[in-house]
Structures are given as C-alpha cells and as structure tokens.
Amino acid sequence: MAAELLCLRYGVDLILNAGVAGCFTDLPTGTLVVASEFVQHDVDTTAVGDPIGLVSTVNQVAFPTWQPERCAELLASLGHPAVTGRVSTGDWFAVKGQRAEWIRDTFSPLLTEMEGGAIAQVCLRNGVRFVSVKSVSDHLFSDSQADEYFDFGQALEALGRAVLPLAKALQKAGR
C-alpha cells in the first residue's frame, strides 16, 4: 500500500526496497543481494493450465527489477560488494522442510522473503523503476536457522551501511 501511495500521490520514479531474507545457498550472513527479479512462490493456478507462479492480474511469472547488475556495481564502487540473483516471495515464513525444497527446486532463487514481490508488482503496474537490496539473515537448510534469524544484527549492519549510499548514488545518477 505504501508503494502504491508513493507512485500515485508523490509521483516517484524509483523505489528502493531494502530488507533481510532467508538464503537457499551458502552465501554468508550479511551478504548483500541485489534482486534481479522476483517470483511469487505461493501462487498456483496450474489447475487451469497456467504456469506455476503466474500472477494472472498482470499475466507474468517473473517481476524484473531495474538494472540489477548496475546497482550491484554501484554498491561495489561504494565499498559494499553485492551479488545479483532471483528472489522468491510469498506469504510464508520460510523454514527448512519440503516446502522450502520445492521452492528452491521449482524457482531456483538465491533468497526468499515476504514483501519485495508485492512492491515489484506495484512498480510494474505503475511504470516505476524498482530496485531491491536484501541482506542474508539466515539459511533455510541450516540446523541453526532460528538462531541465525533471531540474531541477524550482522545482516542489518551490512544493509544499513549500504542502503543510504546506494540511494544517494542512484539519485545522483538520475540527475
């Protein structure tokens, strides 16, 4: 809702989303990931012939972000190395188990989270550029996932050091 307000009321031309996310791989905690695209892991209308993950209101499975490689390069030039990759999103707090394995095997994401995909859809529908930076907070297939999640200060510190400089660099580049 806030993204929609930013688009409609304030006429923004870029939204930068920042947050933490669970990791499907072995990227270290605090690693910055610039989302290349979002996929909705909890949408399934395959019973009517749609591909898995299709969001029918926009007839799309993947929601690309704006120039993820450029944003990762900008972060690196500011002293904050980042990788790019696909992020799965949905209304499920991801934990180790069959569902996490299914998401990993079906969508091949680096990370999973709960809000970026919704913002990506709002930006797509409003023609607004969208950048999303996530910091690895926990690892889905780790036996200590819960401990990692509840002690994600390292992930927040990495994100906090990088987001404002990135926003300023994007603003400066947009002039």
Which pLDDT tens digit goes with each residue over 4-47?
999 999 999 999 999 999 999 999 999 999 999 999 999 999 99
**If residue 157 lies in a helix (H) or strand (E), which one and from where to where?**
helix 153-174
pLDDT (tens digit, 9 = 90+) per residue, 101-146?
Answer: 999 999 999 999 999 999 999 999 999 999 999 999 999 999 888 8
Mean of the per-residue pLDDT values for the chain? 94
User: What is the distance, to the nearest Å, from the Cα of residue 149 to the centroid of all Cα atoms in its chain?
Assistant: 17
Whether the Cβ atoms of residue 64 and residue 117 lie closer than 8 Å to each other? no
Q: Which amino acid is at 148?
A: E
Return the pLDDT at 19.
Answer: 95
Task: Report how far residue 149's alpha carbon sits from residue 114's, in angstroms, rounded to the nearest whole number.
Answer: 14
pLDDT in tens, 62-76: 999 999 999 999 999
What the block records as the tokens of 117 is 């995909």
Residue 107 tokens read as 């969508």
Q: Identify the pLDDT of residue 175.
A: 52
Q: Considering just the CA atoms, what is the radius of gyration of the chain in Å?
A: 16
Answer yes or no: pTM beyond 0.75. yes
- The superfamily CATH assigns to domain 2-170 is Nucleoside phosphorylase domain (3.40.50.1580)
Q: What CA–CA distance (Å, rounded) separates 43 from 56?
A: 9
For the chain, the distance separating the N- and C-terminal CA atoms, rounded to the nearest angstrom, is 27
Query: Alpha-carbon distance 108 to 93, whole Å?
Result: 18
